[in-house]
Amino acid sequence: MMVADMSRATLGAEKADPAPVSHALSASLSIGVLALQGAVREHLGALDRLGLRGVEVRHPDHLAGVDGLIIPGGESTAISMLIESAGLREALAERLDGGMPAFGTCAGMILLATDVADGRPDQHFFAAIDIGVRRNAFGRQVDSFETDLAVEGLGAPLHGVFIRAPIVERVGPGVEVLASLDGFEGGPRPVVCRQGRVLVAAFHPELTTDTRLHRLFVTAVMEAKGDEGSATAGAR
């Protein structure tokens, strides 16, 4: 409850922002935020603090030009339905299958997962990362919580805001677990996972001003773009 009385503007502001991403490529980077429902503005704000401009994705055309995509927190059932009705399902599946880097937080993690328990039968998942998750498994809103997390490679602990968060129940062989929570039956629960260029978090880094996970994702997007560039150059 420590942020209950903090304003939207100052949430987590005590942590100094890292410097903007400085790389020759960053100026030309286009990072999409799936903008159908949920904490879209917060992700755009995080990108802004890194000196990048996010692109709102609501239509298949918007997806064509992005180098990577963030799927925000929100209600995964509603986002899933809106993906379908906006005609985004095929375009998204195609880009993700083609290796587009993606970063999913909470509901976004559910949408990127391979199998989902306690979802709706008509809910669509993109199987972009080989994990199995269970929806709302930490509990209802009154059981939402905040805690500091040690995330591999990030140094100082990261403040995690969990809201009706999904639990990762299965981790495939190719998946790295970057952070876990202790104190659960059956051992630690993974809360930050990565497979290739797909990064997922069970909590909401977008609700704090700590942009280190976003930076990690942006680095993966830059690498992917660099690879693409050299592949094109090699083909010439």
Partner 1 sequence: MKRGLAEMLRGGVIMDVVDAGQAKVAEDAGAVAVMALERVPSDIRRDGGVARMSDPALIEGIKAAVTIPVMAKARIGHFAEAQVLEALGVDYIDESEVLTPADEANHIDKWGFTVPFVCGATNLGEALRRISEGAGMIRSKGEAGTGDIKEAVRHLREILGDIRRITQADPAERYAWAKNLQAPVGLVTEIAETGRLPVPLFCAGGIATPADAALVMQLGAEAAFVGSGIFKSSDPARFARAIVEATTHYRDAQIVAKVSRGLGEAMRGEDARTVETRLADRGW
The tokens for 142 are 């009154």
Q: What is the CA radius of gyration of the chain?
A: 17
The 4-43 site mask, x for binding partner 1 (CB under 8 A), equals: x--xxx-------------------------xxxxxxxx-
The tokens for 189 are 């629960």
Whole-angstrom Cα distance, residue 98 to residue 234? 19
Q: Which position among 163, 199, 201, 213 is part of the footprint of partner 1 (CB under 8 A)?
A: 163
Pairing of strands 131-134, 115-117: parallel
- Cβ pair 165, 149 in contact under 8 A: no
User: For residues 42 and 67, which CB has a smaller minimum distance to partner 1 in the complex?
Assistant: 42
C-beta atoms surrounding 228 within 10 Å: 12
**Span 95-114, contacts to partner 1 by CB under 8 A:** 106-107
Q: Which position among 62, 95, 159, 204 is part of the footprint of partner 1 (CB under 8 A)?
A: 204
Q: Which position among 115, 130, 146, 176 is part of the footprint of partner 1 (CB under 8 A)?
A: 146
Q: Is 147 in the site for partner 1 (CB under 8 A)?
A: no
Q: Is 3 in the site for partner 1 (CB under 8 A)?
A: yes
**Span 110-139, contacts to partner 1 by CB under 8 A:** 118-120, 135-136
Selected range binding partner 1 among 12-20, 156-164, 171-179, 216-224, rule: CB under 8 A: 156-164
Whole-angstrom Cα distance, residue 169 to residue 180? 12
- Cβ pair 208, 15 in contact under 8 A: yes
User: For residues 121 and 155, which CB has a smaller minimum distance to partner 1 in the complex?
Assistant: 121
Q: Which position among 16, 22, 140, 233 is part of the footprint of partner 1 (CB under 8 A)?
A: 140
- Sign for the CA dihedral angle at 217, 218, 219, 223 comes to positive
Q: Is 49 in the site for partner 1 (CB under 8 A)?
A: no
Q: Is 161 in the site for partner 1 (CB under 8 A)?
A: yes
Whole-angstrom Cα distance, residue 50 to residue 206? 13
User: For residues 145 and 224, which CB has a smaller minimum distance to partner 1 in the complex?
Assistant: 145
Give the residue numbers annotated as catalytic, written as ranges: 106, 204, 206
What's the closest the beta carbon of residue 169 comes to partner 1, in angstroms? 16
The 63-102 site mask, x for binding partner 1 (CB under 8 A), equals: ----------xxx-xx--xx--xx----------------
- Cβ pair 131, 168 in contact under 8 A: yes
DSSP-assigned states of every residue in 81-144: HHHHHTT-HHHHHHHHHTT--EEEETHHHHHH-SEEESS-TT------S-EEEETTTT-SGGG-
Positions touching partner 1 (CB under 8 A) are 1-4, 7-9, 35-42, 58, 73-75, 77-78, 81-82, 85-86, 106-107, 118-120, 135-136, 140-142, 144-146, 161, 163-164, 204, 207
